[in-house]
Amino acid sequence: AGARILSKMVAQTMRVVSPGAMAILDWIKVCTRLIVKPSENYPQGRTLRFTSPSGLPVRQPYFNEARVKVHIDGHTYSLSRSDETMPVNVTRQVNGSSPNIVHSWDAANAADVAVRCRAMGVEVPTIFDCFGSHAGNVATTRRVFLESFVAMHERDLLGELANQWRNLYPDVRIPDP
């Protein structure tokens, strides 16, 4: 319960501090709901797909779960099964879309930095959007990171995403970002 309250407080604060970023996240969620919701042609819904800036195809495999309780020797175990035969879990699809898309952007940037630095003889281990660097290579790593970040964000990532979805889901009216 405390995490839910804190989450709502953070979201409210972000709407004040960074309304543009929150508008982007809202747009992604609106589009996701339009894409994944069950319809006449897709009675179980469908998963969200997109391609990251580095060209990696992404698919969110969030399906409803079938649960069963098993009682063994006085203990109760809850087992669940989820696969593509189950209906799409719309809530998880919608809630996961914004973070997954933003993480794919971060990962594309991290991969580009690692590859570009490696070509210059500089090893840069990455974990998500965190970079490691020897103290003597910090200036180089920082410069490469900024160049990569700016180059990626000079692209119209939201426009590209909207066009991807319009091509992948021609039956859905994707609003402009």
- The rounded average pLDDT for each run of 10 residues, N- to C-terminus, in the chain (177 residues) is 90 94 96 97 97 95 91 91 90 96 94 94 83 89 95 96 98 97
pLDDT confidence of residue 91: 96
pLDDT for 30 equals: 98
**What amino acid is encoded at 176 in this protein?**
D
- Ramachandran angles phi, psi of 3, nearest 5°: -65, -40
pLDDT at 83: 83
Beta bridge partners of 81: 66
* Of the candidates 141, 146, 136, 142, the residue with the CA atom closest to the CA atom of residue 119: 141
In angstroms, what CA-CA distances link 139 with 70, 134, 142? 57, 10, 5
**Rounded Cα gap, residues 79 and 57, in angstroms:** 30
For residue 131, what pLDDT is reported? Answer: 81
- Cβ atoms of residues 30 and 161 within 8 Å: no
Cα 91 from Cα 64, distance rounded (Å):
10
Burial of 29 (C-beta count, 10 Å sphere; 0-12/13-18/19+): middle
pTM of this prediction? Answer: 0.86
Residue 126, beta-bridge partner list: 131
User: Tell me, what's the pLDDT at 81?
Assistant: 83
